Amino acid sequence: MQDLSAKELRDKIADGRITSVEATEGVFASIDKYESTVGAYISIFKEQALAKAREVDEKVAAGQAVGILAGVPVAVKDNMCTAFGTTTCASRILENFRAPYNATVIEKLLAADAVIVGKANMDEFAMGSSTENSGLKRTVNPWDTSRVPGGSSGGSVAAVASQMCFAALGSDTGGSIRQPASFCGVVGLKPTYGRVSRFGLVAFGSSLDQIGPVTRSVEDCALMLNVIAGHDSADSTSVDEERSPMCDYLERLDEAIEPLKIGIVPQFNAGASEPVQKALAEALDVYRGLGAELVEVEMPHLEYAIAAYYVIATAEASSNLARYDGVHYGHRTEEPKDYVEVYSKSREEAFGQEVKRRIMLGTYALSSGYYDAYYLKALKVRNLIRGDFARAFERCDCIMMPVSPTTAFAIGEKTADPLQMYLADIYTIGANLAGVPGISIPSGFDPEGMPIGLQILSGAFTEDKLLRIARMFEKETDWHKSRPGIIS
């Protein structure tokens, strides 16, 4: 049962061939077996999940309509507010915080009759590329437990890869869904900015964050996007359906794009390792075999994406995290001497080093005398990058490039050098700056047996096209069917 896709499981539960309770108990059996090794979850909701599963089974038995996830066990990243359990953002400052409401995506999962089994580990406040910055626990890569799972959605991705859920939600600020999906051999989608409501997502970079699905297949990804996409009046950045019409992403998933024009950026891709470049070349050969045409596109400003991103993202983080002050909620220092120490010591004690680093960088970039030199200039570069993408998509249906320069690196390998860690996001950050959708799909392995992902990007609000292009590759290959040795 654990090898079923989310859609296959959904269909079997809805038809009465499998019960949701059986599927949920199977997931908890996997959690009992692998969680102590992988460390994917911060909190687990066994009693609540089984109660929801029984509720779904009772609906099916009575012949009542069930939601489109019909009892499928899923996980959610722990920066999405839930009225049940804690919402920690993997930070000591929110270790005991209980949100008074559900995020919109949580409400949509529950309305679709999903069974939420737990909340997944992450880099603290989504700041990181390896999940090593979690303030609460360590998550490892199920393919090689001496390596990182990627980040910041490392827990969500590791849970899917190790069969401790059938699908999950993550958030992507600069590649935080796509990069760990590549590292762990699963599918990860960052939708267009505004496609999915951010209401109830604890903010890191408000103009960059986007919630998206992590799954074992492109088909499951389309299913999950059907659940979470759509306008939300509670989120001012959510785009209404008049400007971005909704569709059933499963309906035409198996229809190939013909003719398909694929954009490539040769000089940009050259920075990846040899195994990653080889996997990209072989993936492009698959598409050529399907009749696709390769088009070289120029994106002259993409090389400045890292610099622009780390000014914009840290500036927004500095503003968003100012609310954690030891007064309103969250950790408060004991016996402060005065109100200044309430603020300073509470933050000093409970924020991790990477969060402190980014707050300091962002505060500096926004400070008097530096706003124009750094933040304003970064916004101008962002606009140029957005223009690069717009012009590229006039010539091609999509752009293909690596997800990361390398496969998953060793735990501790980059922690002493933040710049090297930041450069791990060089291929993913552009999509967040431009607001366009991007997906990572399994496309091979390096000589050491570590997964490699193929990144596909398309124009804003063209997720239907993006998923169909990804599905073309998936139908021709078996990479997405591979499982880590930990579960073989």
CA–CA gap between residue 278 and residue 135 (Å, rounded) = 36
Tell me whether strands 73-77 and 167-171 are parallel, antiparallel or unpaired.
Answer: parallel
DSSP alpha helix (H) spans, 62-185: 104-111, 154-161, 178-184
Close Cβ partners of 205 (under 8 Å, ≥ 6 residues apart)? 173, 174, 312, 313, 316, 317, 320
- Which residue in 304, 286, 247, 292 sits closest to 396, CA to CA? 292
Q: Select which of 77, 108, 345, 465 is catalytic.
A: 77
Q: Tell me, yes or no, if 77 is annotated catalytic.
A: yes
Q: Select which of 91, 153, 171, 176 is catalytic.
A: 176
- Which residue in 139, 173, 174 sits closest to 157, CA to CA? 139
Residue holding tokens 């780390």?
A: 310
User: What DSSP character marks residue 216?
Assistant: S
For the chain, what is the radius of gyration of the CA atoms? 21
Q: Select which of 129, 152, 318, 443 is catalytic.
A: 152
Q: Which two three-digit tokens encode residue 66? A: 């069930």
Close Cβ partners of 202 (under 8 Å, ≥ 6 residues apart)? 79, 80, 81, 87, 89, 94, 125
User: What DSSP character marks residue 457?
Assistant: E
CA 151 to chain centre: 8
Q: Tell me, yes or no, if 152 is annotated catalytic.
A: yes
Question: Hey, which residues are catalytic here?
Answer: 77, 152, 176
